[in-house]
Structure 1
Amino acid sequence: MRIKYFVFGASAVVAALFFGGAYWSLDRIFDNVVRANAARASEATTRITFASMYQLMSQGWRRSQADAFLHAIAAAGKENGLTVQIYRSQVVVDLYDEIEQPPFDADLTTVVASGKPLRRDTADFSRHIYPLVAEAKCLRCHRNAEVGAVLGAVEVRQEYASLLADARRDLYLAFALLVPLAALLAGAAVWWVGRRIEGSLEGLQADFDQVNAVGDLRRIAMAEHDFGFVELNRVFAGLGRLLEKLRAIAVDKDILMFEIGLLEKFVITSDVVRDWREYVGRLLVDINSVLPAHTLFSIFKIDDEMFDLEVFWLGPVTERTRIMMEQHIRKELAALPSFGDIGVCNIHHHLSGTQGEPIELSEDEVALRVKSFFVDKPKIGGIVGIGVHAGVLDDETRYLVMDSVLSTLLNVVGSVKAIYKYTRDLEYYATRDPLTDLFNQRVFWELSSYEIGRAQRHGYSFGLLLIDLDNFKLVNDNYGHTVGDTYLQRLARQIQGALRDGDILARYGGDEFVVLLPEAEADAVVMVAERVRQAIESLDVVTPLDAHVRGTASIGLAVFPDHADNAKDLLLFADNMMYRAKAAGKGQVTVPTQDDIVSVFRDITQKSVMVLEAIEAKRVVPFFQPILDIAERKIVAYEVLSRIELDGQVIRADEFVEIAEKIGVIHRLDMLVIEQALTILSAQGHQGEIFINLSPRALVFNEFARDLRRLVTKSGILPQNIVFEITERDTVKNLSLLERFLNDLKSDGFKLAIDDFGSGFSSFHYLRRFPIDYLKIEGHFIANMLNSEKDRTFVTSIRSLARDMGITVVAEYVESAEVLEELVGLEVQRAQGYYIGRPARNLLPVDWQPAE
């Protein structure tokens, strides 16, 4: 609706209401005035007539004279609706006979009887009745009356209808003349106001029609206009102030779409982590789609005096510009009170593209166009600052948007760098022993399998050495774990120096080392083993207190294919030879004879028979090791461990599980332990979780999953309280089968855990493919983390990875109060180990106390 139509319509409505109200009010006023005047006229006529009648009667007029007088009064008031009537009472009638008069009504009867005047007002007339009361002088003519007797009554009646009709007619004629004139004047006023407003707004509307972006608001000028009305001038001034505010707070659609698009790319994927520098380079290209930016840089704090500066250029850059940019960033960082002298700064330049002319900037351009964002304390990944060298920003909003982008980019780039470092460390430690930098147990098994395949293809033999230090526990007990770790690190280098080129050394665990000797006959294996033994004996480590630490090692050896045709049996054979070396006095190499070969495999056969008999006789019993909730210091779960009872002795799982797997009865062993464990835990009312180890080799049996569900249902324990642990003792050749099996367990409500996480690279494959709830960190990292920064870094990395994936961490090998307190600082949720509680037949109280 146009404003002039609105004003005209509003004026018409107001005018109609005004005139209507005025007409109604005046009509009411005229009506009241007419009635009041008529009532006063009637009353005055009544008094005059009454007085006249007394006068006539006092003078003794004849009747004809009185009648003529009354007729004259009545005739005079007829034109004005006034009627005068004289009434005789019975006293006068008795003396002078009746006259022609209307019959008495109730009002007349009342007045004659009471002798008091009466006034009656109705909607149509006003009526006055005055009694004619006899006085002393009246008794001369009215001899039959007494003083105070009512001789008659005077009635005056005033009609309103004609008077009101005349008044309304005159009022209507007046309004009929006034309304057109008022309408004409209102229309002229509306037209004048509309033209004033429309004329002032036409130019402003033309400016508004040209606004397509926030920058166009700057071209709109609010000219000074006088609308002739204070209120309209105030509205127009308010519109000008609103326009100024819009200029200050409005966000350009292109900038907003750029920010949204950029935020959508802040999604950290494996590709981003792997190629994070390329990812930042692509972000620089995206920034240039909205504003020109030559470079993007990020600064990482490595330690107290070392920084990494990563500079990403949009294209080629001159050496002079590079140096100026480096100097400016150093100056910016040095100005921060929390950093001061930045010390060593490793600078890395990267190009997003190689095409185009080299970027050449002056010193002023570098200093003025760098938009940077620094923090007082390093954020995630050690990042302390980020910046962009952009073109001059033409409004405050773009500065705010760039600040938002930089602050978000600071966290994203820091997170990517941190995850990149964590992933790199995890990948490294997944294959390496953090203390000695040697290959770990997992890699040893993979290389052993590879070496067997290669030896079979090419028809040669290779050797295996198992090295176990003698009495190494005394070194830790007497000199401390720090000296023990130093000794192991020196030992690793000593053994490596005694090996041939191409020989593979790995730390199997603790103070055990294994060596693969490719393409070696028995004599060569013996020679290398002896050289290693001598190298170990010659090692001399001096402690900080100038004590000399020396040691020996017992070495067992095995040759493929002379002693075994698979990796497991080969290591088992070397292990037996190593124990024979210890039994023979330690510090020596046991060279196997033919009798040794027969004896070793006889022992293996006897152990196989022992396992079969234990399963048949149900001598496989569960032991329970508690798991502590570190924050609440309560026992919340137990891990079920397999044991065999034989002649009053308890045999641990590591002495028979591999044999059970080899002879194909591991599924029966697992089922027997699970059944007994669930029965015991259910009977004792355990309400927490139960961790149960599953051998991957048991999964090939079709009835295993069915029997597993049957046992759980029979026990009455809820599936969500049972956590199945998968281990990495063996490589799972059919990962799809394992994935399907574990997903089925998960869908039934069971939980899943990875045991000994970090002992092998396939841990990450498991973590990526399977719905894991718990990570149990490999115990050697936990045990050594107080003395080894690498071990602690590994634990920290696993904790960060698990937290990001919503997985609970369980630390194994917690054997001291100091380790437990360190886990509190690292925010590890649960702990398991001898300090928490040793494996036992019985359950501990929920409220935990440290083990003795």
Structure 2
Amino acid sequence: MKKSATSIRSFLLQRTFIFSVLGFLVLVSVTHYAFTKSIEKNASVMAERIAKQTFNSMYLVMSQGWNRHQLEQFMKQMEKDNKDSDLSVSIFRGDLVTERFGEMESPALSDTHRQVLESGQSQLVSTDDSISYYYALNAKEVCTHCHTNVTDGDTLGMIEVTQELDKSLLNANKELILTLILVSPLPLLLAFLATRQITSRIDNSIEQLADSIDSIESISDLSRLEEGRDRLAFRELQDIFSQVKNLSSKLNDIAVDKELLEFEIRLLEKFVITSEVVRDWREYVNFLIVDINKVMNVYTMFSIFKVDNEVFDLEVFWLQPPSDRTRQSMEQAIMKRLAQDGSPFELIDINIRHNMVNEHAEPMDLDDDAIELQCKSLLVETPKIGGIVGIGVHSDTIQDTTKLLVLESILSTLLNVVGSVRAIYKYTKDLEYYATRDPLTNLYNQRMFWELLDYELDRADRHDYKVALLLLDLDNFKSINDGYGHSWGDKLLADFSEALQNALGKDAIIARYGGDEFVIVLPESDVAHAAQVAETILLTSRNHSLYYDSNTFLKLTGSLGMGIYPDHAKNKKDLFMFVDNLMYRAKNSGKDQIALPNENELVDIFKEMSDKTVLVTQAIERKELIPAFQPIVCSNTGEIHAVEVLSRIKLSGDRLMSASEFIEIAESIGKVHQLDYIVMDKAFEQVKITGYEGKIFINLSPRSIIISDFIPTIKRLAESHAINPESVVFEITERDTVKNISVLESFVMSLKDKGFKLAIDDFGSGFSSFHYLKHLPIDYVKIEGEFIANMANDARDMAFVNSISHLSQELNVETVAEFVESEEVLELVEKAGITYAQGYHLGKPNPDLEGILKTTEVFVR
């Protein structure tokens, strides 16, 4: 059990009583001892005196000529006088006197008597109840006149004086004890009074100390403890108080108010990054300032972001509108802080933006000195996430070390949170843009084209109007890339896209479908209107040029196909195939022209479309599909890491039809999964023959997900050719799968259970890619080729690629860069930390796997 503490008053009273009693007993003992010794001393002195007086009396008697009888009478009278007294006197004759004068009646001799008589030395003998003094009578010269038989110094006899002390001591002790008993209450009373006075002063001092401590409600109140020190009555308590004050000073440096901790917890709860936070990060910071001001006064918060080389954004957030003078002073104070020696912000361009939390509040006017002294900032040497390089506040809290500690903690957290929010905000904006736009031309991308076309066709059905679709393919554009380089080809495409958009206006939906292909959707448009727009497109391409040098302008022409819904097709895929056929007719007719849907030629066009369908059907049924292999190499060494399997149909004259020309047909007739089986079977066979041991990337068609026997079939194919499932990587895209993500997740988990690996193809082309990365066990990310191809010329594409690379590294996912068409791009890919690369610069698709393995060796770095 825990022992309970006693009070100082009780302790003092207990100890005072105990020590008073002990003191009294000691006093009695000492007094008794001293008194006894005093009596004994007095008794010994008296005995010696009586012995000498007796001798003197005897000498006087004998000197007067007293006879023996008179002497005996004298001695008897002396004994009689001492009979009722506690004092007795006895006289003993020595041998020499007996010899001269004869025997005399006396008590028997004791050992002490004989010793004194023999030695002639007087002795004092004390016992517990008596004192005896043995006085030796030694002869002097005068004695020899009578005692003729002695000489000077001989012992004549001895006088014994004995005093009994027991009665004296008893009476004395009674008197002493009675006296001590009578005075004993006095020390107890005095001790009680002293204790009461002491405890009273101690109580008062402790009460004052307790009041001083009780007055502490927060860490900032600790500074008031010094005020109560002088009121304490005892130096020891003042010393204790000083120690408490020293402790409070230490606590003031390390402790944090409960209110501040609760505030910090509440504030940290608001650091959860939600979609609302990302939607407007500046509004988020405004709310944070309001919450911070509930606990401490923070007038201003500022953050610095790196947006470009030597260019920074300074965002200043005000609790309420500042006066013009205050605004200028704050800008100067911040810039002064940023421009200190050795700061990365020296000699740079800073864009300043001011944000108001409460625009309608009274203008705030701050003192210049207060601004300078009350600014606290946290700067980093290199940009953090979101490009943030610094954050700071202006607050009077800077003068409070405790709150400053919390404030510094908040600043450290805000540095990362605000940076992350701004990064996600910017990244989301970019993602929203790139999910719908082609990064090179800023036109809609292929994915968005199909969604918009589907929307317009549905609207046309509901409102009973027509929709025109035009497909433009630039003529001989490959010669421009080959002759002037891809960078100039990209510039020409971007420049032409802008001119095309200006020419057609907002009524037309323009998208970049492929490398040099453009599609235009014209809502509520018939053949006549569509033909006018087609002429405008051709004129725009003919008249467009790009300055290359003083002697050269890069020019364009294009071949155009056109179709009308629902006149020429009943769905979007058939409409596109119809227009695609017309576009090829225009090319085959000499290029730089429009192929309009002629009523007389419609039968031939549909027949060509039907022939393509028959061709694809026969190729699947006869297993005439062949695999083509494109290498995927390590970006830093050039060694082959994997090959991607692509589908081809062999035509007459050793020509190969690419997958882009027949995949949609295979999907429309519901046989794309059979196509996949055939290509995988033949690809696995070549892998086994050549002894290739690297990874095999295979495109996974959306229909495969809903085919129940797809996974058992590919597992059987792998086993039949002794292919390890872990070497097979299936590529998925978001197309047609995002609508049923749960089915996709179940399918993917079944693939992973069988040992196969998974890759996201065209990563970054839409939101679904990120959804897959979050929810699916992805092994590889293949970055959208458009971003890779343009990263050397567009800082946005470079930033986007770097972001994907960093994200993949954080998630421990391998990355593959597509469309690596030059050594420059390959170097940028390696610099960005992308693991693998794929593109024509490293190897084109080829049905000869063994030849690819040998040819690609020249790229080993």
Q: TM-score when scaled to structure 2?
A: 0.69
Instruction: Give per-residue Cα distances to partners, 1:234-254, cap 9 Å, x unaligned.
Output: 999987765543333333333
Q: Is the 8 A contact 1:316 1:358 kept in 2?
A: yes
- 5+ unaligned residues in a row in structure 2: which ranges? 19-190
Cα gap change, 1:801 to 1:495, in 2 (>3 Å): same
Corresponding residue for residue 592 of structure 2: 587
Corresponding residue for residue 658 of structure 2: 652
Does residue 494 of structure 1 match 2:494? no
Does residue 558 of structure 1 match 2:563? yes
Q: Is the 8 A contact 1:633 1:847 kept in 2?
A: no
Corresponding residue for residue 634 of structure 2: 629
Q: Is the 8 A contact 2:638 2:859 kept in 1?
A: no
Q: Is the 8 A contact 1:443 1:760 kept in 2?
A: no
Distance of 1:364 and 1:269 partners within structure 2: 39
Which of 517, 535, 538 in structure 2 is aligned with 1:530?
535
Q: How do 1:103-502 and structure 2 match up within 5 A?
A: 213-221=218-226, 244-303=249-308, 306-315=311-320, 321-335=326-340, 337-340=343-346, 343=349, 345-351=351-357, 353=358, 357-499=362-504, 501-502=506-507
- 5+ unaligned residues in a row in structure 1: which ranges? 13-187
Distance of 1:847 and 1:253 partners within structure 2: 71
Does residue 842 of structure 1 match 2:837? no
Cα gap change, 1:247 to 1:764, in 2 (>3 Å): closer
Corresponding residue for residue 697 of structure 1: 703
Secondary structure at 1:509 match in 2: coil
Please tell me the residue identity of whatever aligns with 1:702: S
Cα gap change, 1:215 to 1:768, in 2 (>3 Å): same
Please tell me the residue identity of whatever aligns with 1:445: W
Cα gap change, 1:537 to 1:409, in 2 (>3 Å): same
Corresponding residue for residue 109 of structure 1: none
Q: Is the 8 A contact 1:330 1:342 kept in 2?
A: no
Q: Is the 8 A contact 2:843 2:856 kept in 1?
A: no
Distance of 1:310 and 1:691 partners within structure 2: 47
How far off its partner does 1:738 sit?
Answer: 3.0
Q: TM-score when scaled to structure 1?
A: 0.70
Secondary structure at 1:397 match in 2: helix
Instruction: Give per-residue Cα distances to partners, 1:746-777, cap 9 Å, x unaligned.
Output: 45554332212234454445445544443212
Instruction: Give per-residue Cα distances to partners, 1:241-287, cap 9 Å, x unaligned.
Output: 65543333333333334334434433333332222122212221232
Distance of 1:6 and 1:689 partners within structure 2: 88
Instruction: Give per-residue Cα distances to partners, 1:125-169, cap 9 Å, x unaligned.
Output: xxxxxxxxxxxxxxxxxxxxxxxxxxxxxxxxxxxxxxxxxxxxx
Which of 544, 548, 573 in structure 1 is aligned with 2:578?
573
Does residue 789 of structure 1 match 2:795? yes
Secondary structure at 2:857 match in 1: coil
Cα gap change, 1:595 to 1:260, in 2 (>3 Å): same
Q: Is the 8 A contact 1:310 1:350 kept in 2?
A: no
How far off its partner does 1:662 sit?
Answer: 0.7
728-737 vs 410-419, which moves further: 728-737
How far off its partner does 1:394 sit?
Answer: 4.9
Q: How do 1:51-130 and structure 2 match up within 5 A?
A: none
Please tell me the residue identity of whatever aligns with 2:313: D
Corresponding residue for residue 521 of structure 2: 516
Distance of 1:501 and 1:632 partners within structure 2: 48
Instruction: Give per-residue Cα distances to partners, 1:663-700, cap 9 Å, x unaligned.
Output: 11112222333344445546766554332211112323
Secondary structure at 1:384 match in 2: strand
Which of 544, 547, 554 in structure 2 is aligned with 1:542?
547
How far off its partner does 1:348 sit?
Answer: 3.1
Q: Is the 8 A contact 1:693 1:724 kept in 2?
A: yes
Cα gap change, 1:228 to 1:754, in 2 (>3 Å): closer
Q: Is the 8 A contact 1:435 1:489 kept in 2?
A: yes
Distance of 2:855 and 2:611 partners within structure 1: 43
Q: Is the 8 A contact 1:696 1:732 kept in 2?
A: no
Q: Is the 8 A contact 1:835 1:850 kept in 2?
A: no
Instruction: Give per-residue Cα distances to partners, 1:524-544, cap 9 Å, x unaligned.
Output: 322322232122212232214
Cα gap change, 1:576 to 1:730, in 2 (>3 Å): farther
Secondary structure at 1:463 match in 2: strand
Secondary structure at 1:402 match in 2: helix
Distance of 1:365 and 1:240 partners within structure 2: 30
Q: How do 1:743-762 and structure 2 match up within 5 A?
A: 743-746=749-752, 750-760=756-766, 762=768
Q: Is the 8 A contact 1:634 1:847 kept in 2?
A: no
Q: RMSD in angstroms over aligned alpha carbons? A: 4.0
Distance of 1:490 and 1:393 partners within structure 2: 55
Cα gap change, 1:471 to 1:649, in 2 (>3 Å): closer
Cα gap change, 1:212 to 1:701, in 2 (>3 Å): same
Corresponding residue for residue 664 of structure 1: 670
Please tell me the residue identity of whatever aligns with 1:658: E
Distance of 1:6 and 1:830 partners within structure 2: 84
Distance of 2:856 and 2:234 partners within structure 1: 85
Please tell me the residue identity of whatever aligns with 2:568: H
Corresponding residue for residue 822 of structure 2: 816
Please tell me the residue identity of whatever aligns with 1:616: E
Distance of 1:570 and 1:760 partners within structure 2: 24
Please tell me the residue identity of whatever aligns with 2:713: D
Cα gap change, 1:679 to 1:538, in 2 (>3 Å): closer
Instruction: Give per-residue Cα distances to partners, 1:18-47, cap 9 Å, x unaligned.
Output: xxxxxxxxxxxxxxxxxxxxxxxxxxxxxx
Q: Is the 8 A contact 2:252 2:401 kept in 1?
A: no
Distance of 1:271 and 1:750 partners within structure 2: 38
Secondary structure at 1:794 match in 2: helix
Cα gap change, 1:208 to 1:488, in 2 (>3 Å): same
Q: Is the 8 A contact 1:305 1:342 kept in 2?
A: yes
Cα gap change, 1:403 to 1:557, in 2 (>3 Å): same
Please tell me the residue identity of whatever aligns with 2:290: V
Q: Percent identity?
A: 50
How far off its partner does 1:661 sit?
Answer: 0.5
Please tell me the residue identity of whatever aligns with 1:842: L
How far off its partner does 1:451 sit?
Answer: 1.8
Q: Is the 8 A contact 1:435 1:790 kept in 2?
A: no
Secondary structure at 1:371 match in 2: strand
Number of equivalences: 671
Computing the radius of gyration over CA atoms, which structure comes out larger, 1 or 2? Answer: 2
How far off its partner does 1:837 sit?
Answer: 3.1
Instruction: Give per-residue Cα distances to partners, 1:45-72, cap 9 Å, x unaligned.
Output: xxxxxxxxxxxxxxxxxxxxxxxxxxxx
Q: Is the 8 A contact 1:431 1:761 kept in 2?
A: no
Instruction: Give per-residue Cα distances to partners, 1:801-845, cap 9 Å, x unaligned.
Output: 444555432111123322111111111122122333333442666
Please tell me the residue identity of whatever aligns with 1:741: F
Distance of 2:472 and 2:366 partners within structure 1: 64
